[in-house]
Chains A and B, each alone.
Chain A
Amino acid sequence: MGTATTNPNVNYLTEFSGVKSWLLSLDHKRIGLMYMIAILFFFLIGGLMAMLIRLELFSPGPTLFSADTYNQVLTYHGAIMVFMVIVPGIPAILGNFFLPLQIGAADVAFPKLNLASWYVFMFGAILAFSTLFTTKIDTGWTFYTPYSIKTGTAVITMVLAAFIMGMSSILTGLNFIVTVHKLRAPGMTIYRMPLFVWSLYSTAIIQVLATPVLGITLLLLVAERVLGIGIFDPKLGGDPVLFQHFFWFYSHPAVYIMILPAMGIISELISAFSRKTIFGYRAIAYSSLGIAAVSFIVWGHHMFVSGQSEIAGVIFSFITMLVGVPTAIKMFNWLATLYKGSVSFESPMLYALGFLFLFAIGGVTGIMLATLGVDVHFHDTYFVVAHFHYVMVGGTLMAIMGGFYYWFPKMFGKMYDESLARITFVLIFIGFNVTFFPQFILGAMGMPRRYFDYIPAYESLNKISTVGSWMISAGFFLALYVIIRGITSGEKAPANPWGAKTLEWQTPSPPPHFNFDKKPVVTGGPYDYT
């Protein structure tokens, strides 16, 4: 496909220079990189908050700071990681960069809107961080009422920041939906799209449909604080539990925004590094859409003990069990792809295999939490904290790392240091388990979450967990080094270092500004290794 009619030294990185050529760029690849730098920075801060949490919890009683400070730190950890890292993460960085390339397009449907999304996101993020310099926030990232109405901290600013960042998410989703519908290369029927594209599309549907409801929920919370309209405040005849319904109506689908693109990456990695066609392509594609659809009707499983009726709990538990099935199908399909494959163990694949391991655990514990009789005991304990870290970090973050190493040569035209990258995997994988597996046990033992202090019986497991956190952060700092060194002085990368079959590998590394010299014409599926 990519005949070298263009100068091989001219690519999207080198063609235009100067700060303005980046800040005003309409190139989806540059915008993806700008998101990457921002989100990496936010991840560092959110990660610092996590380290502080674990340090404080190293021993019972005040260790580093007061209870009030601890409550602020945990709130920022959650809010930063959710709104600024994991929700935008894959779509804004790898999605922006690779969606057009994978469908053979020259850009996304609305490049100016894409750039605008980045500015909207940055504005929201700056507003969010401004609260660190004013009265901070201490409500937990979930802003439950009435506490969030009464507390004297900067709830309004933070909530408006989340609203603004939500707008950015909506615009990205909207852009991707139109791109997938309208800009596929000739011959690329929907069943010839890579599964990463399917996952981004399913995610985009959730982004567009769920985020507006978060938007109005946050605006209503602001109205409650400023005007006291009374819908969430019992003193004025309102219902605090109504806030939870509104909030989780978005926030449950949001967790699928976090995991669906990660699963898309895993499909790419497992197939590429087994050099075998993906098993059950249509099942995986349909399951992504199915999960997106069903994700809208399970929100009450966050509220089994909130005071909602028994019948509501029963319905939500039942439907949540159903959503476990498409997820299980994907896991088995990936396993079946490995069967009789030709498996190699470069870092992207290590992270993919790590995902399978960790997401298996995260997934089965999700089923446990969906089980009514048992959730009563586990709700709001460290069991839940461990569950969602297994799926969000053990799942999404591992997929981001794998995807990032996989696509690194394409993005930067250089190879990263493979041995060091493998060490990052070992540190992160082992460190992650040491940090979070004890938290399942702590939860089973009854330790509630968001606890500044704890009874002595929980001390040894907390210590182990903290030591694990040091290991993970070592792994991430090493990964940062690997990335920076790779970008600055890595070996030159060929167009297709992994021998993969999707369209992005048919163009040089890094790609030229317009992606493809000639628009590709697609004649087969995306994983044809015959």
Chain B
Amino acid sequence: MTTHNPAAGGHQHSHHFDSAEHEYESDKLGIWLFMVTEILMFGGLFVAYIIFHQIYPEMFAEGAKQLSWKMGFFNTLVLIGSSLTMALGIYYNQINQSNKAFWNLIATLALGFVFLTVKYFEYASKFDTGFLPGKLLNVETVQATSQNLGMYFGLYFCMTGLHGLHVVIGMVLIGWLAYRTRRGDFNSEYYTPVEGVGIFWHIVDLIWIFLFPLLYLVG
């Protein structure tokens, strides 16, 4: 981010802060603290995954074979691209080019939508072939070698599902930002919400960058 030195023009800062800069610094600290909690929450899921991967390596390999690494890799590129457009959305707001900012935010939304569409196809194919989470997976139907293959898909759906939920939340927030950009709310003096949602979106991207190799590549 560029160094920022706002005056009080345009956006009124809250009364309990000394200046817009003061409020901006505080907002950023708050947003980063919230991101720490998100990372810890997903971290718990990663720990569960790693523990059971150690105990049942063949079962995890069997489950991972059902995932298409190509689709996962494509989705990774999609999300990285969306982080780029998100960053541009912030940048253009910072330099008072709200039209370019708006379109970059829309592009981010579009890429998020592409991500979810790919996930939809992945999930649909799992449902069709019977690779369901937990006790819903019928070992005979899918001709599984491992009796507890349901555990792999339980973890798969929980991890990607929770991540997907965060993608949806992020998209709602980005949509709101796009609307506010159009309305002219953001400028070089004030762009805190854009940056805040941007940080959220980058963390959601980062979590996927860990999910992808763990689920799709580590066989």
Question: Which chain A residues have a beta carbon within 8 Å of chain B's beta carbons?
Answer: 100, 105-107, 109-111, 113, 170, 174-175, 177-178, 181-183, 208-209, 211-213, 215-217, 219-220, 223-224, 227-231, 236-238, 242, 246, 514
Contacts and interface: CB of A to CB of B under 8 A. Distances in A.
Interface stretch (B45-53, B64-72, B172-180): B45-53
Contact of A213 (B41, B150, B151): B41
Nearest to A112: B14
B34 A174 contact: yes
Given A110-B26, A215-B44, A236-B135, 16 more contacts: A110-B27, A111-B16, A174-B30, A178-B30, A213-B41, A213-B43, A220-B158, A223-B134, A224-B134, A228-B154, A229-B154, A231-B154, A237-B59, A237-B147, A237-B151, A246-B44
B37 interface: yes
B89 interface: no
B205 to A, nearest CB: 19
A227 B133 contact: yes
Contacts of B29: 177-178, 181-182
A231 B151 contact: yes
| From B17, B30, B37, B154, residue with most partner A Cβ within 10 Å | B37
Interface string B10-30: 000011110000100111011
Contacts of B62: none
Contact of B33 (A174, A183, A216, A224): A174
Given A219-B162, A220-B158, A231-B52, A211 B148 contact: no
Contacts of A174: 30, 33-34, 37
Interface of B: 14-17, 22, 25-27, 29-30, 33-34, 36-38, 40-45, 48, 51-52, 55-56, 59, 133-136, 147-148, 150-151, 154-155, 157-158, 162
Contact of A182 (B22, B38, B155): B22
11 contacts: A100-B16, A113-B30, A177-B33, A182-B22, A208-B36, A223-B158, A230-B150, A231-B155, A236-B148, A237-B56, A237-B151
Nearest to B25: A182
A416 B202 CA distance: 53
B37 A216 contact: no
Given A227-B154, A229-B158, A231-B155, A208 B33 contact: yes
A183 B14 CA distance: 12
Contact of B41 (A111, A212, A228, A514): A212
Contact of B136 (A113, A175, A227): A227
Q: Chain B CB within 10 Å — which of A105, A109, A175 has the most? A: A109
B139 to A, nearest CB: 11
Contacts of B133: 223, 227, 229
Contacts of A215: 41, 44
A230 B41 CA distance: 19
Contact of B40 (A209, A223, A238): A209
Contact of B154 (A105, A209, A223, A242): A223
Residue among A106, A229, A514 with the highest chain B CB neighbour number at 10 A: A229
A251 to B, nearest CB: 14
A67 B154 CA distance: 35
A524 B7 CA distance: 32
A174 B151 CA distance: 35
A118 B98 CA distance: 36
Contacts of A178: 26, 29-30, 33
Nearest to B15: A106
Closest 7 CB pairs of A and B: A229-B154, A228-B135, A216-B44, A227-B134, A228-B134, A212-B40, A237-B148
A178 B136 CA distance: 45
